[in-house]
């Protein structure tokens, strides 16, 4: 960042009378260019931020959905959710599973493994099954409302073009 500022100052100082530091157009251009770059970075951060929040908000319910049919090993859950870009990686899954267990939504079972020590498998509890059913209803309502608003916005754009 410091190097960028120094390079910009050096360039401005060597521009001479057309575009030098005392040229109001040059100063305006560089100030507006810097503002646009800052705004672009801010927009990228905001997009990443809301998407990250959405992913964190649904990650636990995605775990419940995966556990609906059969118990899963923690690493398998992490891999599947990471590939789906719901969680960042393996380190994210274990605190989430501990919270689900503490809340009574999942239970654990130890199973022998042919590949090493026994593994902890996670299974859905009856409370977890109820929570998943409730989430599915709420998710359907929520996404329906968002899709309806997006459709209204699309139709409005077409009308005003």
Residue 80: HSE in the Cβ half-sphere, 13 Å Cα cutoff: 13
Residue scoring higher pLDDT (130 or 28): 130
| Residue 55, SS3 per DSSP | helix
> Is residue 156 predicted with pLDDT exceeding 90?
no
The string of pLDDT tens digits covering residues 67-91 is: 999 999 999 999 999 999 999 888 9
2-160 is classed in which CATH architecture? Orthogonal Bundle (1.10)
Could you say which DSSP state residue 70 is in?
Answer: S
Residues 71, 49: Cα–Cα separation, whole Å: 32
- At residue 16, the pLDDT reads 47
């Amino acid at each position: 960042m410091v190097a960028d500022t120094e390079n910009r100052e050096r360039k401005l100082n060597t521009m001479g009378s057309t575009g030098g530091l005392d040229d109001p157009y040059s100063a305006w251009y560089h100030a507006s260019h810097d503002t646009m770059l800052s705004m672009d970075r801010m927009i990228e951060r905001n997009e990443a931020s809301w998407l990250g929040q959405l992913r964190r908000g649904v990650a636990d319910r995605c775990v419940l959905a995966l556990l609906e049919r059969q118990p899963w090993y923690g690493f398998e859950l992490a891999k599947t959710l990471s590939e789906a870009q719901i969680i960042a990686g393996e380190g994210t899954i274990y605190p989430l599973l501990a919270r689900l267990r503490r809340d009574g939504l999942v239970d654990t079972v130890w199973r022998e493994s042919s590949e090493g020590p026994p593994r902890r498998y996670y299974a859905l509890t009856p409370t977890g099954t109820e929570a998943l059913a409730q989430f599915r209803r709420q998710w359907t309502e929520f996404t329906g409302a968002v899709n309806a608003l997006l459709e209204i916005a699309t139709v409005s754009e077409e009308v005003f073009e």
